[in-house]
């Protein structure tokens, strides 16, 4: 199965098992907007909890808030979003498809670098053990030629973006002979900037109505509350403020399922530091966040850092943690050193001082900020793509299993009476009642037990507990493990302790 087929299968599996539905599907859907179903909502909540606990509960110097989506419109003027939150767009005149010009160029660069990597891979197989990759990359003429070509385009692109020279961005696309993936032609329009914020109005028409925006990032809710939290929480620098919540962007090129949506959820943390120490904290958070991703059990080769070519208007250093989605390595999380840009701008526009008095230095200053920002929906897609497995079993049958890390699984335990008679279902209910205070537990009696195991594999339930006639006689049940399908006999009295060991969120948190 190639990656494209795999991705299609993941999308239909998500729908079939109640993870994700197209929004307003009965009206043919709303483009790039999705609803989470009964399984999806649980998984999403668990991912959010994992992030919140690892950030807030595990750090004494980080607190969480929940700011409103609507903010005073001047917020977005101050933050630069009204003037600069734009995507450079280009249309292909033949296919009438619209693209982000920067993405077209970045994908072209990635293709050139992939050619260099292919040369290295070929040489690695040819030379075996004795292969010195670093030396080969430095000296092989074909590899160095690819790298030089990519660097030259990258530099030209960087300068064009910095100078906001959209003519030049278009010329790079032409010169690189980038074609439209749909029409295959180079018949491009000019490049235009398009603001991504959704606006609406507050107040009735007869009153003074004012334009307000749906927040395009949660971060500004943290910045405007910086002093409120610092003062009331008696926070000492360095400290962080975290929040999770909806953000909205009028994405023009919205593709790839829940990867790029118009309404999505962010989990952001702003870490306020003493000016001059920001690079130290930037590196600290890069490592810490990568460790967090590794705790999810993704392989080492599944994530990588990608430094930004063009820094956002507020940053002096920025990188992404990219994940190997079925459609390639793409941004999952951003880590940004945002300097004192936001707080200073809010000081300027509000006329209020947003300074911290540092008792150690005996002076006040506007703190610098290092931000970690991850999209919850993208994380959801990463976990889903990584967990989805189509397996052929020893007896020739097949199953789809979601090997979601245990503490994150939507349902933790399914309690299944072997048959729906002779008091077995009632016994199962008793076990559900015992476990429901600790875990999300389900029970169902319909269909053969094998079918019920498969249904639970398909939603990633780590354990099935089977109640049979022996249960009624000796108080034991069969505990079936999702990944190995191994079964063992355990006492009902021991069940809770056995399950707690594997299913509790602390098992993941200890790896962060």
Minimum Å distance from CB 333 to ligand GAP?
5
CA-to-CA dists, residue 452 to 421, 432, 466, angstroms = 17, 16, 10
Please say which residue, 289 or 482, places its beta carbon nearer to ligand GAP.
289
Please say which residue, 254 or 445, places its beta carbon nearer to ligand GAP.
254
Please say which residue, 107 or 263, places its beta carbon nearer to ligand GAP.
263
Please say which residue, 334 or 407, places its beta carbon nearer to ligand GAP.
334
Cα–Cα dist 97/24, whole Å: 24
CB 198 within 8 A of CB 188: no
Minimum Å distance from CB 186 to ligand GAP?
28
Q: Which residue is nearest to ligand GAP (CB)?
A: 375
SS3 235: coil
Sign of the alpha-carbon dihedral angle for 35, 39, 41, 43: negative
Minimum Å distance from CB 278 to ligand GAP?
16
Please say which residue, 261 or 384, places its beta carbon nearer to ligand GAP.
261
DSSP 410-451: S--EEEEESSSSTTHHHHHHHHHHHHTTTS-EEE---S-HHH
φ, ψ of residue 121 in degrees (nearest 5): -60, -40
φ, ψ of residue 304 in degrees (nearest 5): -150, 160
Please say which residue, 335 or 425, places its beta carbon nearer to ligand GAP.
335
Minimum Å distance from CB 321 to ligand GAP?
8
Cα–Cα dist 366/224, whole Å: 13
Cα–Cα dist 484/397, whole Å: 15
Cα–Cα dist 306/311, whole Å: 12
- Give 173's contacts (C-beta < 8 A, 6+ positions apart): 90, 101, 104, 105, 186, 188, 191
Please say which residue, 51 or 463, places its beta carbon nearer to ligand GAP.
51
Minimum Å distance from CB 247 to ligand GAP?
7
Minimum Å distance from CB 261 to ligand GAP?
4
State which H helix or E strand residue 329 sits in. strand 328-339
Please say which residue, 219 or 224, places its beta carbon nearer to ligand GAP.
219
What are the residues binding ligand GAP (CB under 6 A)?
217, 219, 249, 251, 260-261, 264, 266, 268, 331-334, 371, 373-375, 377-378
CA-to-CA dists, residue 288 to 291, 294, 371, angstroms = 5, 10, 12
Sign of the alpha-carbon dihedral angle for 24, 30, 31, 35: negative
Minimum Å distance from CB 368 to ligand GAP?
15
Please say which residue, 289 or 378, places its beta carbon nearer to ligand GAP.
378
CB 62 within 8 A of CB 268: no
Minimum Å distance from CB 379 to ligand GAP?
7
Please say which residue, 256 or 461, places its beta carbon nearer to ligand GAP.
256
DSSP, res 53: I
Cα–Cα dist 495/485, whole Å: 17
Q: For 254-274, what is the HEC assignment?
A: CCCHHHCCCEEEEEEEEEEEC
Minimum Å distance from CB 167 to ligand GAP?
26
Strand partners, 439: none
Minimum Å distance from CB 138 to ligand GAP?
33
Tell me whether strands 463-467 and 413-417 are parallel, antiparallel or unpaired: parallel
Please say which residue, 312 or 400, places its beta carbon nearer to ligand GAP.
312
Minimum Å distance from CB 223 to ligand GAP?
10
Separation of first and last alpha carbons in the chain: 33
Please say which residue, 322 or 429, places its beta carbon nearer to ligand GAP.
322
Minimum Å distance from CB 251 to ligand GAP?
5
CA-to-CA dists, residue 390 to 204, 397, 403, 409, 458, angstroms = 54, 11, 11, 18, 10
């Amino acid at each position: 199965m190639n990656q494209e087929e795999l991705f299609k299968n993941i999308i239909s599996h998500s729908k079939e098992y109640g993870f994700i539905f197209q929004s307003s599907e009965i009206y043919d859907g709303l483009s790039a907007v999705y609803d989470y179903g009964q399984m999806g909502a649980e998984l999403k909540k668990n991912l959010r909890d994992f992030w919140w606990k690892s950030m807030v509960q595990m750090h004494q110097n980080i607190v969480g808030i929940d700011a409103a989506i609507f903010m005073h419109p001047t917020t977005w003027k101050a933050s630069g979003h009204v003037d600069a939150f734009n995507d450079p767009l280009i249309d292909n005149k033949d296919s009438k498809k619209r693209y982000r010009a920067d993405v077209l160029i970045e994908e072209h660069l990635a293709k050139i670098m992939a050619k260099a990597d292919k040369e290295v891979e070929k040489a690695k197989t040819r030379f075996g053990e004795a292969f010195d990759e670093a030396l080969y990359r430095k000296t092989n003429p074909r590899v160095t030629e690819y790298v030089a070509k990519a660097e030259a385009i990258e530099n030209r692109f960087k300068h064009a973006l910095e100078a906001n020279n959209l003519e030049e961005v278009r010329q790079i696309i032409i010169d690189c002979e980038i074609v439209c993936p749909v029409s295959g032609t180079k018949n491009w329009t000019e490049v235009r900037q398009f603001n991504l914020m959704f606006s609406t109005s507050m107040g009735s028409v007869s009153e003074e109505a004012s334009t307000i925006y749906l927040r395009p990032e949660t971060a500004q809710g943290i910045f405007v509350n910086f002093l409120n939290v610092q003062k009331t929480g008696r926070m000492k620098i360095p400290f962080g403020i975290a929040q999770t919540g909806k953000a909205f962007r009028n994405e023009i090129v919205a593709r790839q399922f829940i990867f790029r949506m118009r309404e999505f959820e962010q989990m952001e943390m702003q870490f306020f530091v003493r000016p001059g120490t920001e690079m130290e904290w930037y590196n600290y958070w890069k490592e810490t966040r990568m460790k967090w991703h590794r705790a999810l059990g993704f392989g080492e080769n599944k994530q990588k850092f990608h430094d930004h070519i063009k820094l956002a208007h507020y940053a002096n250093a920025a990188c992404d943690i990219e994940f190997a989605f079925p459609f390639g390595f793409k941004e999952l999380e951003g880590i940004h050193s945002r300097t004192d840009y936001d707080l200073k701008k809010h000081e300027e526009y509000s006329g209020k001082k947003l300074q911290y008095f540092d008792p150690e230095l005996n002076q006040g200053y506007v703190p610098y900020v290092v931000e970690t920002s991850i999209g919850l929906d993208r994380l959801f897609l990463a976990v889903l793509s990584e967990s989805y497995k189509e397996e052929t079993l020893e007896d020739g049958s097949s199953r789809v299993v979601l090997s979601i890390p245990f503490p994150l699984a939507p349902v933790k335990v399914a309690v299944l009476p072997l048959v729906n008679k002779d008091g077995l279902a009632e016994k199962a209910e008793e076990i559900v009642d015992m476990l429901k205070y600790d875990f999300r537990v389900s029970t169902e009696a319909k269909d053969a037990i094998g079918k019920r195991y498969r249904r639970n594999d398909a939603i990633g339930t780590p354990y099935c507990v089977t109640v049979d006639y022996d249960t009624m006689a000796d108080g034991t049940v069969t505990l079936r493990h999702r990944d190995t399908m191994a079964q063992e006999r355990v006492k009902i009295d021991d069940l809770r302790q056995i399950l707690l060991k594997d299913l509790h969120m602390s098992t993941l948190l200890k790896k962060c």
